[in-house]
Amino acid sequence: MKSLVIHGKEDIRWDDREIPEPGAGEVRLRVGFVGICGSDLHYYFHGANGEYTIREPLVPGHELSGVVDLDPSGRLAPGTPVTVHPARYGASVPGLEDRPHLRPGGDYLGSAAANPHRQGGASEYLIVEEHMIRVLPDGLPLERAALAEPLAVALHAVGLAGDVSGKRVLVIGAGPIGLLVVAAAVHAGAGVVGASDVRTEPLDRAQALGATEVALVGRDTIENESYDVVFECSGVGVALTQAVRATRRTGTIVQVGMLPNSDIGVNLAPLLAKELTIRGAFRFSTEIDDAVRMLAESDALDPVISHVLPASDAVNAFTIARDSSASAKVLLAL
């Protein structure tokens, strides 16, 4: 079989590997589509994602859809369309019973956090454990189903903000995750959803998904205390400063974008006088099931997918995915 393998910084190859055989409790999938995530971009362009450095060849990809190829148990018939919850959780920890995704010791498809690395989904065939599989509803196309994982991230973030119905919501950073947060906030009944970005193209996409107020960084001004809830999706320190200013008194900020693992300049002074709540958002727990249902309801999120390229053209695909002016979510077709 063929697999996309990152061997180091800007070194990705379409390698030959043996077709894996599933063991007890495992299922082999024939992968259809894999989304390129920000972490995949970091692994390819920098050879590392934050503190996690590639120490051995890594197959990227944790946003995927495909069909069952072989289920030794016979429970799932060949050809059954599925997506995958990419996490395996660590041992149970008191106080985290309802947040298994925060337990230490787990792993994630396509991650260099562990050694040996957890190989990802950008292969023609993939072995996953039975509990990771989510069977798709009838009529949900595999291409759209590849959005289930990032949409689950967005739904989890919106859920952390509490009830947003009727509230004014701002999403800072209209990349793929920011766009899905816009859609998730609209779906949750937000009264107004705004979006800000450094480029006009992502803002156009945000409006197509339901954002009614847009702000171009450097051109437009976001008034202080103008939003009840702010989702910071860019992962840039200055954007968190903007979030603190834009949030009304007693409001909530959810940090969705991955901030750099270093000391950064952020002005949190208004946090005190406004008694703001800042919450971090990390992956998700069961929200992938909600994401699958939402994707099956309509084709409203199809515009998030801007490009579908063959996995053999990965260098071009990663270059396009890096340019937010040119792309939103880029999928690799396996």
> Which whole number is the average pLDDT over 226-255?
97
Element (H, E) at 240: helix 237-246
pLDDT tens, residue by residue, 106-151: 999 999 998 899 999 999 999 999 999 999 999 999 999 999 999 9
C-alpha span between 3 and 21 (Å, rounded): 15
pLDDT value at position 262?
82
C-alpha span between 105 and 120 (Å, rounded): 17
pLDDT tens, residue by residue, 262-297: 888 999 999 999 999 999 999 999 999 999 999 999
- Under 8 Å between Cβ of 156 and 182: no
Sign of CA pseudo-dihedral 257, 261, 266, 271: positive
Instruction: Tell me the C-alpha to C-alpha distance, in Å, between residue 221 and each of 196, 242, 327.
Output: 10, 10, 25
> Which whole number is the average pLDDT over 7-21?
96
Share of the chain above pLDDT 70, in %: 100
pLDDT value at position 318?
98
pLDDT value at position 227?
98
pLDDT value at position 300?
96
pLDDT tens, residue by residue, 147-171: 999 999 999 999 999 999 999 999 9
pTM reported for the whole predicted model:
0.97
DSSP 197-236: ESSHHHHHHHHHTT--EEEETTTS-PPTT-EEEEEE-S--
Question: pLDDT-based confidence at 41, cuts 50/70/90?
Answer: very high
pLDDT value at position 258?
87
Residue 50 has pLDDT above 90, yes or no: no
Question: pLDDT-based confidence at 51, cuts 50/70/90?
Answer: confident
Residue 49 has pLDDT above 90, yes or no: no
Element (H, E) at 322: helix 314-322
Q: Count of residues for the chain?
A: 334
Average pLDDT, the chain: 96
pLDDT tens, residue by residue, 85-113: 999 999 999 999 999 998 998 999 999 99
DSSP state of 58: B
Residue 243 has pLDDT above 90, yes or no: yes
Query: Long-range contacts made by residues 272-275, C-beta under 8 angstroms, separation at least 24?
Result: 273/249, 274/225, 274/244, 274/247, 274/248, 274/249, 274/250, 275/249, 275/250
DSSP 160-187: HT---BT-EEEEE--SHHHHHHHHHHHH
pLDDT value at position 260?
81
C-alpha span between 141 and 65 (Å, rounded): 9
DSSP state of 81: E
What are the backbone angles phi and psi of residue 211, rounded to the nearest 5°?
-70, 130
